[in-house]
Amino acid sequence: MNINKDTIQYINFFEKLTKAKVKNCFANNILTFVVNFGEMGKAIGKKGVNVKKIANLTKKKIKIVEFNPNPSIFIKNMIYPLKASEIKQDNTTIEIQADTKTKGLLIGRNQKNLKDLKEIFNHYFKDIQIKI
């Protein structure tokens, strides 16, 4: 994960507009903001007004994820709006169980979505691997 000038600008812009504290920003094909626990409502705004405003001004798709120190809950927040039938966790792995369509969406073409998911998740939980 590289923090560059653009990433810092996105974080500053997001915090100024939403008044929510950002833990990190990941700029892949989607701008993903990880906000502190309990700040999701503030970040989204009434009827999603903040998300729409940021998406219009940056010309990028926006995803906001609420951080949680529990890896299972954090992964659930990350894959939302997709639903896993079960998320199993042990000391070194998290296994996401879902139907075939959901698995396909989680993995994405050429595993793009899975790579992005792992990059963000491993930034906070380095010792835990994700299995789908």
Per-residue pLDDT tens for 11-39? 999 999 999 999 999 987 789 999 999 99
Determine the Cα–Cα distance for residues 31 and 120; give it in Å rounded to an integer: 12
Residues 32 and 79 in one domain: no
CATH number, residue 111? 3.30.300.20
- Which range (1-5, 33-37, 86-90, 115-119) has the least confidence? 1-5
Q: Which of 102, 56, 55, 41 is nearest to 76 (CA)?
A: 102
The number of beta carbons lying within 10 Å of the beta carbon of residue 127 is 9
Residues 57 and 76 in one domain: no
Q: What is the pLDDT of residue 2?
A: 63
Residues 84 and 39 in one domain: no
Which value, in Å, is the radius of gyration of the alpha carbons in the chain? 15
Q: What's the pLDDT tens digit per position in 87-97?
A: 999 989 999 99
107: enclosing H helix or E strand: helix 100-107
Report yes or no on whether pTM surpasses 0.75: yes
Across the beta sheet with 86-89, the strand order is: 86-89, 93-97, 129-131
> Residue 100: which domain range?
71-131
Q: What proportion of the chain, given as a percentage, has pLDDT over 70?
A: 98
